[in-house]
Amino acid sequence: MSHQTGIHATPDLREFLVKARRGAVRVVKIVIRSEQLVLGAYREVCQSWDQDYDACVLPILDGLEPCYILYRLDSQNQLGYEWLFISWSPDQSPVRLKMVYAATRATLKKELRKSPER
């Protein structure tokens, strides 16, 4: 069992994620600021998911700061678009910061599952 930090998403982030599920957003970067999960950056859909990846994901990554990336695929299931969940934790990040992100990952995934669709 992993330990959790008590860090939760802000209402603004939850609201943005509900809107992102509708399909116009390709990638969402989520970071921890002031002990809360907040929107770090996002990019809209331009091309197919495989063509957008390098142009959307790589520019928003920071070589020193961990983050979570939600990347929207073009495929859909009964719940809507399918998403990849990427946990970015660069080797150069401070150990404490990497531990906070690792301990918050389960909380974020739980919040994503319970968020209303619309």
What CATH number should be reported for the domain holding residue 102? Answer: 3.40.20.10
Instruction: Report if residue 25 sits inside a domain.
Output: yes
* Of the candidate ranges 3-17, 50-64, 76-90, the one whose mean pLDDT is the lowest: 3-17
When divided into structural domains, the chain yields a total of 1
Instruction: Report if residue 2 sits inside a domain.
Output: no
CB atoms within 10 A of CB 18: 13
CA triplet 42, 43, 45: central angle to 5 degrees?
Answer: 140
Instruction: Report if residue 3 sits inside a domain.
Output: no
Instruction: Report if residue 117 sits inside a domain.
Output: no
| Each residue's pLDDT tens digit, 56-74 | 999 999 989 999 999 999 9
Q: Is the pLDDT of residue 118 over 60?
A: no
Domain span at residue 31 reads: 8-112
Q: Sign of dihedral through CA atoms 6, 7, 12, 14?
A: negative
